[in-house]
């Protein structure tokens, strides 16, 4: 009996084999068919269909459809007509960075103050300590070109840029004097210093003061204003097999541009006869200015040019050189740049930090000059901190063996807190400049001194803002 239907089917038309039969698209959901799962069917009611027999009629349906069509047409019509005003962009690309980094050196609303000029004759004179000086106008432009002024300092609030000469300033000034004397006597003297202190203690300002005196004494000033740009991984870098370091050609070209702007009159008169390796060729440049220009024009050879410039300035008959770097702590650790194996590159393997540190630790020397670095408040660099103190790390500490030798032999200049007399001098200056509105009395001086803990940046903030 069971075989009967099969046998009957054999008599009919030939059928496709079972495997080739397409699967039904829709599974039957009627009660007769078994459900695929044991879970209940969807709770939502199916969309209601207009049933002419249950109230709804065809005429109504047509009316609804027409209405819908009309409304949809209307909607489309509206969408077409509505003109969406193109919103002005809040900032253009890179505009914020420009605003953030703009250096303002004058406030025209501030009252004019007559201050003595920070002349080169006053460098290193202990009598000038605890006095506020005006930075001479001829130097201001050069300092601006070389980015000696930083944002967040006091410059935008006064009519003219001024600065307090402190004990540390005279120490640096005395060194500049000594190098100038060596230049006259045709002896050699290359000083190496590291400015250290807490946040806001005036290291960067001290660097600016050193540069101001150096510019006036006709030195060549090379400055790396913020070493963060080198180690952040935002600048282009590549490995140079000739120098065996990672070179940052675009940054170096920009650095050469700054050197050109600040030192052009001096470099123009410095003749050169030595051939230098530029790319794959050797070239001789008539003057050092032309050498620098070659690096600015073609950034692919900028590192070669920078090294050639340093080599030229290390020759015996060259003017003294001030080689400065701010934020030494940032190049005393691994950088954010990665090598081909995706390992972090040590900052000492980057071209510019490498050459700077070789002058800072005395591996290389200018015949006459000053190599000076300022530490940074952050990040924490325990190796550098210990090396600055002259201490050795503990036996179980994770240490970076390269840090201590990199600053070996450089003397540390501590930027100490202000003395009470200096607080008063600064407050007098702030009063004259329209910053501080109260009376400068025993109490107010003592109050500001206590609140700022002798920190110049905090003192300025307190005088500017505390009495609002």
What is the length of the chain? 468
Largest CA distance in the chain: 129
Q: Name the one range near other proteins by CB under 8 A: 109-117, 169-177, 276-284, 395-403.
A: 109-117
Q: Name the one range near other proteins by CB under 8 A: 23-31, 52-60, 208-216, 424-432.
A: 424-432
Would you say 358 and 406 are in contact if contact means Cβ atoms under 8 Å apart? no
One of 66, 104, 311, 315 touching other proteins (CB under 8 A): 104
Pairing state between β 220-224 and 411-414: unpaired
Q: Name the one range near other proteins by CB under 8 A: 108-116, 119-127, 173-181, 252-260.
A: 108-116
One of 56, 156, 362, 382 touching other proteins (CB under 8 A): 156
State yes or no: residue 84 binds other proteins (CB under 8 A): no
Q: Name the one range near other proteins by CB under 8 A: 123-131, 190-198, 249-257, 443-451.
A: 443-451
State yes or no: residue 178 binds other proteins (CB under 8 A): no
Burial of 385 (0-12, 13-18, 19+ CB in 10 A): middle
**Using DSSP, how many helices (H) and how many strands (E) does the chain show?**
16, 13
Rg of the chain, C-alpha, whole Å: 37
Continuous segment of H or E residues that includes residue 411: strand 411-414
Would you put residue 279 in left (φ > 0), alpha (ψ -120 to 50) or beta? left
Helix (H, G, I), strand (E, B) or coil at 105: coil
Q: In the complex with other proteins, which residue's Cβ is closer, 335 or 444?
A: 444
Residues 6 or more apart whose Cβ sits within 8 Å of residue 22: none
State yes or no: residue 282 binds other proteins (CB under 8 A): no
Would you put residue 130 in left (φ > 0), alpha (ψ -120 to 50) or beta? left
Cα separation, 329 vs 80, in Å, equals 60
Cα separation, 384 vs 401, in Å, equals 10
Q: Name the one range near other proteins by CB under 8 A: 133-141, 236-244, 253-261, 442-450.
A: 442-450
One of 109, 185, 241, 378 touching other proteins (CB under 8 A): 109
In the DSSP assignment, the letter for residue 438 is: S
Q: Supply the minimum distance, in Å, between the C-beta of residue 454 and other proteins.
A: 13
State yes or no: residue 324 binds other proteins (CB under 8 A): no
Residues 6 or more apart whose Cβ sits within 8 Å of residue 159: 106, 107, 108, 110, 111, 112, 113, 433
State yes or no: residue 102 binds other proteins (CB under 8 A): no
> What is the footprint of other proteins within residues 448-467 (CB under 8 A)?
465-467
First-residue to last-residue Cα distance in the chain: 107
Q: Supply the minimum distance, in Å, between the C-beta of residue 457 and other proteins.
A: 14
> What is the footprint of other proteins within residues 372-411 (CB under 8 A)?
none
One of 56, 117, 157, 174 touching other proteins (CB under 8 A): 157
Q: In the complex with other proteins, which residue's Cβ is closer, 193 or 424?
A: 424
State yes or no: residue 90 binds other proteins (CB under 8 A): yes
Q: Supply the minimum distance, in Å, between the C-beta of residue 446 and other proteins.
A: 8
Half-sphere exposure of 120 (CA within 13 A, CB side): 17
Across 25-106, where does the E strand assignment appear? none
State yes or no: residue 107 binds other proteins (CB under 8 A): yes
Query: Which two tokens mark 375?
Result: 């530490």
Q: How many residues form the binding site for other proteins (CB under 8 A)?
A: 32
One of 179, 440, 459, 463 touching other proteins (CB under 8 A): 440
Q: In the complex with other proteins, which residue's Cβ is closer, 166 or 424?
A: 424
Query: Which two tokens mark 323?
Result: 């080689």
Q: Name the one range near other proteins by CB under 8 A: 26-34, 311-319, 320-328, 433-441.
A: 433-441
State yes or no: residue 468 binds other proteins (CB under 8 A): yes
One of 52, 111, 233, 377 touching other proteins (CB under 8 A): 111
Q: Supply the minimum distance, in Å, between the C-beta of residue 116 and other proteins.
A: 14
State yes or no: residue 301 binds other proteins (CB under 8 A): no
Q: In the complex with other proteins, which residue's Cβ is closer, 68 or 95?
A: 95
State yes or no: residue 88 binds other proteins (CB under 8 A): yes
Would you say 284 and 312 are in contact if contact means Cβ atoms under 8 Å apart? no
Going by C-alpha positions, the residue among 249, 355, 372, 280 that lies closest to residue 311 is 355
State yes or no: residue 445 binds other proteins (CB under 8 A): yes
Instruction: Name the site residues for other proteins (rule: CB under 8 A).
Output: 88, 90, 104, 107-111, 156-157, 420-421, 424, 428, 431-434, 437-446, 465-468
């Amino acid at each position: 009996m069971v075989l009967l239907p099969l046998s009957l089917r054999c008599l009919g038309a030939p059928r496709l084999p079972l495997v080739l039969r397409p699967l039904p698209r829709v599974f039957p959901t009627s009660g007769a068919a078994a459900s695929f799962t044991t879970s209940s069917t969807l709770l939502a009611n199916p969309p209601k269909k207009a049933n002419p027999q249950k109230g709804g009629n065809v005429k109504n349906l047509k009316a609804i459809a027409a209405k819908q069509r009309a409304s949809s047409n209307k909607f489309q019509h509206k969408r077409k007509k509505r003109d969406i005003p193109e919103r002005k962009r809040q900032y253009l690309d890179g505009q914020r960075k420009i605003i953030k980094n703009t250096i303002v050196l004058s406030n025209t609303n501030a009252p004019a103050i007559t201050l003595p000029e920070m002349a080169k004759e006053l460098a290193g004179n202990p009598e000038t300590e605890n006095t506020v000086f005006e930075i001479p106008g001829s130097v201001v432009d050069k300092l601006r070109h070389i980015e000696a002024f930083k944002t967040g300092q006091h410059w935008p609030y006064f009519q003219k840029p001024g600065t307090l000469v402190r004990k540390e300033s005279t120490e640096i000034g005395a060194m500049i004097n000594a190098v100038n004397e060596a230049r006259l006597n045709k002896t050699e003297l290359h000083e190496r210093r590291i400015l250290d202190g807490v946040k806001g203690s005036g290291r960067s300002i001290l660097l600016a003061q050193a540069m101001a005196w150096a510019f006036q004494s006709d030195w060549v000033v090379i400055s790396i204003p913020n070493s963060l740009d080198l180690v952040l991984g935002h600048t282009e870098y590549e490995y140079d097999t000739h120098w065996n370091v990672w070179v940052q050609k675009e940054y170096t070209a920009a650095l050469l541009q700054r050197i050109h702007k600040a030192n052009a009159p001096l470099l123009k008169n410095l003749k050169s006869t030595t051939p230098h390796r530029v790319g794959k060729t050797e070239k001789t440049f008539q003057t050092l200015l032309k050498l620098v220009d070659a690096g600015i024009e073609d950034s692919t050879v900028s590192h070669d040019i920078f090294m050639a410039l340093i080599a030229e300035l290390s020759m015996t008959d060259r003017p003294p050189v001030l080689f400065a770097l701010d934020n030494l702590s940032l190049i005393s650790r691994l950088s954010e740049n990665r090598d081909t194996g995706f390992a972090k590159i040590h900052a000492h393997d980057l071209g510019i930090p490498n050459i700077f540190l070789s002058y800072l630790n005395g591996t290389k020397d200018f015949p006459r000059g000053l190599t000076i670095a300022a530490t940074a408040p952050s990040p924490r660099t325990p190796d550098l901190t210990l090396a600055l103190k002259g201490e050795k790390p503990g036996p179980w500490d994770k240490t970076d063996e390269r840090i201590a030798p990199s600053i070996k032999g450089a003397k540390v200049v501590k930027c100490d807190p202000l003395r009470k007399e200096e607080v008063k001098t600064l407050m007098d200056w702030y009063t004259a400049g329209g910053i501080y509105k109260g009376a400068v009395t025993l109490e107010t001086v003592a109050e500001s001194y206590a609140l700022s803990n002798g920190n110049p940046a905090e003192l300025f903030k307190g005088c500017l803002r505390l009495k609002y």
